[in-house]
Structure 1
């Protein structure tokens, strides 16, 4: 697939952290609920800022890249009205919740539910060169950019026991 009028290339690198960042380093926080529609490449997202304001509602399609590295593939976002979101939210889905903390240049996801204790950081880039040149900040335990187990589509169906095993491979103990 080639980029079209609406799809854009998504470049990101992902890192495991031992824990959440210090509160003083956080510039913004959002509570995110992702609904992955089974059998599709579609994700319905509700993102609410902790400091108020209306929610951001969107439907996302991700088409994975066929090569390793920071290019994750193509991503298309469609922003939704509350009525559109509610209609799509009535479809069966696997649900993932997390709090996204902005710690520039990273977005740090602190997971809840059965994934409580998982902390993933990601950085997004405008070019392959910028992605390759990025040096992760201190506190990044391991890079998991190419480990598909640490993508939302995989994590949404992961049990706590399975997650503990995956983290153990990187020397992280799930409490």
Structure 2
């Protein structure tokens, strides 16, 4: 039996940066996101629930930095609400802004709320490792934290802001 809503496994290639100074947000699409984790930060995989606008998704991601395997499956609101209580100790809330870089690449800027208020991260996805490695980030992107596990959303949801 197959599920046509199930997204087959893909490799996600992305870089993540710690934003110190926000760019102009006027004209960017903004959506509220809440997500929770069903797995611990010490687990080798991540299972995440995400609600963005009216859409709910369950995602499985492998461990990793620049490259990770990702499988997404849309779920119903009823399914989301059934699993949501199990994420009580590992949740984040943020507003996600989508924008375009002069190169044509899309960025996702996350401005966190709640216990993570003040944290801002921006991510860019790439079609290849070579493209990711040759990427020159705009100044406002700040420090590259792609390989810094302290800035993984799952870890942030469980342990809060990293100590400096």
Confirm or deny: 8 A CA contact 1:20 1:108 kept in the other structure: no
Aligned counterpart in structure 1 of residue 75 of structure 2, from 68, 80, 88: 80
Measured on the aligned residues, the alpha-carbon RMSD in Å equals 1.8
Q: How many correspondences in the alignment?
A: 148
Distance, in Å, in 2 between the alignment partners of 1:123 and 1:92 is: 27
Question: Structure 2 unaligned runs (5+)?
Answer: 1-6, 101-105
Counterpart in the other structure of 2:36: 35
2:56–2:80 Cα contact (<8 Å) kept: yes
Where structure 1 has 5 or more consecutive residues not aligned to the other structure, the ranges are: 49-54, 167-175
Question: What does 1:17-166 align with in structure 2 at a 5 Å threshold?
Answer: 17-24=19-26, 26-39=27-40, 41-48=46-53, 55-65=54-64, 70-71=66-67, 73-93=68-88, 94-104=90-100, 105-160=106-161, 163=162, 165-166=163-164
Distance 1:87-1:23 versus aligned 2 partners, 3 A rule = same
Deviation at 1:92, TM superposition (A): 4.0
TM-score, L = length of structure 2: 0.82
Partner of residue 103, structure 2: none
Q: What's the TM-score once normalised by structure 1's chain length? A: 0.77
In the TM superposition, residue 133 of structure 1 has moved relative to its aligned partner by 1.9
